[in-house]
Structure 1
Amino acid sequence: MRKLYLLAFLCLSLAFQGCGPQIYQAASFNEVKQNHKVLAILPFDVTIESRRLPKGVTAEMMLDQQRDYGYGMQGDVYGYFLRQMSKDKYTVNFQDVNKTNALLNEAGLTYEDLRTTSKEKICQILGVDAIVSGNAVMSKPMSDGAAVAVGLLVGAWGPTNSVNTSITVHEAQAGDLMWKYDYEASGSVFSSRQSLSNALMKNSSKKFPYKKS
């Protein structure tokens, strides 16, 4: 156990290196977004790919970790937007994530249901003009059992070959995809959730379509 916590401490030394981003924007988005006032942020869809699980780690534990990461990244992104809003950098407001999650729960939508529910329906449930969502796929995030155990304990993964992330915007009327930013990050030692969220937002915020000119 001591070794695991030592490895967890080492995750603080993480340094991300990102590949060039890919950006999509719908041709009609500049016109559509003029009517957008409030956006909601959904829990991120997180997938942790593992070749095998170490002794004592179950598939259910991995699913719980993915869910925790998803809600954690939702909170991270919301916090980032709030900090930027305090500087008056956006033309829209963001729904409090606690309200978002409460409304989803009242509608009977679980974390897993979000994958198969249309963005149009989700916008209607939340009463917003558009929604921000995203995903993260951690490819071969651990090379041995100890790394998995550390991840489950403290939310850090490594060594990570790559983490493919994206953040998207869907409008409410038809649920169409309006904007998408893909980003690939790689960490040679450990990858914490906060570091991943910060890397994604630091890069994508430069191109975020609701940013004031």
Structure 2
Amino acid sequence: MQKLLLFVVLCVAFASCGPQIYKAASFQEVSSAHKVVAIMPFDVLIESRKLPKGVTADMILDQQRDYGYGIQNDVYGYFLRQMSKNRYTVTFQDVHKTNSLLEEAGITYEDLRRASKEQICQLLGVDAVVSGSATMSKPMSDGAAVAVGLLVGAWGPTNSVNTTITIHEGAKGELMWKYDYAASGSIGSSRQSLTNALMRNSSKKFPYQRKS
């Protein structure tokens, strides 16, 4: 019975709309010289109609920042596992090095929204950057669910997540690839499980894969 319940929860958690994919016609030509790619912290927005008692706007901002770096680390971990199987034509810069270089340059999490991808690539010494965004909706009418979500990273029963993952090349900062994914979450959904759902789906179309 417990296994059946878990299966139902997972099905609901990752019910999603069909992805939207863009790939530049010049991608193969441009990417042929790419060796190292950096992964940026994700730009996270938590939509809230009404903050429950005890939850402040600063807490929401902190949560967005924590999730942005958390998703960055999750995506890096996913790519590392695939790299160990020799599935990619590029390597990925360690996210600790990426974040350290950004910090040394005085670029904060909030600054990343305004910084050009060309500037970021030059600063990090990479050929391209993987970045992304996630817009999360919480059931703010249920204060208890929100409070629990902020504390332990679980999402409420009627939320949705719209996520985008992109690749920009470093020479001109042009968009080379974009994958949009929309998922609905459920009680017990975590940041890691939502990131895994994004990567599990987007990896099928990820353009740096070696040809079999």
Normalized against structure 2, the TM-score is what?
0.92
Distance 2:169 2:126 in 1: 9
**Structure 2, gaps ≥5 residues long:** 1-5
Q: Secondary structure at the match of 1:117?
A: coil
Root mean square deviation, CA, Å? 1.3
Contact 2:52 2:140 in 1 (8 A): no
What do the CA deviations read for 1:19-54 (whole angstroms, capped 9, x no partner)? 100000111111100010000000000000010111
Distance 2:68 2:54 in 1: 23
Deviation at 1:141, TM superposition (A): 4.4
What do the CA deviations read for 1:63-102 (whole angstroms, capped 9, x no partner)? 0000000000000000000000000000000000000000
Contact 1:103 1:125 in 2 (8 A): yes
The alpha-carbon distance between structure 1 residues 140 and 149, as it changes in their structure 2 partners (threshold 3 A), is closer
1:101 to 99, 105, 110: 99
The alpha-carbon distance between structure 1 residues 102 and 71, as it changes in their structure 2 partners (threshold 3 A), is same
Deviates more, 1:187-196 or 1:86-95: 187-196
Distance 2:20 2:33 in 1: 26
Aligned residues: percent identity? Answer: 78
Contact 2:155 2:185 in 1 (8 A): no
Instruction: Summarize the alignment of residues 58-207 of structure 1 with structure 2, pairs less than 5 Å apart.
Output: 58-207=56-205
Distance 1:186 1:161 in 2: 6
Contact 1:141 1:162 in 2 (8 A): no
The residue number in structure 2 matching 1:16 is 14
Deviation at 1:17, TM superposition (A): 1.0
Distance 2:138 2:77 in 1: 28
Contact 1:17 1:185 in 2 (8 A): yes
Matched AA of 1:95: Q
Q: Secondary structure at the match of 2:115?
A: coil
Q: Secondary structure at the match of 2:22?
A: strand
Deviation at 1:190, TM superposition (A): 4.0
Normalized against structure 1, the TM-score is what?
0.91
Deviation at 1:165, TM superposition (A): 0.3
Distance 2:75 2:166 in 1: 12
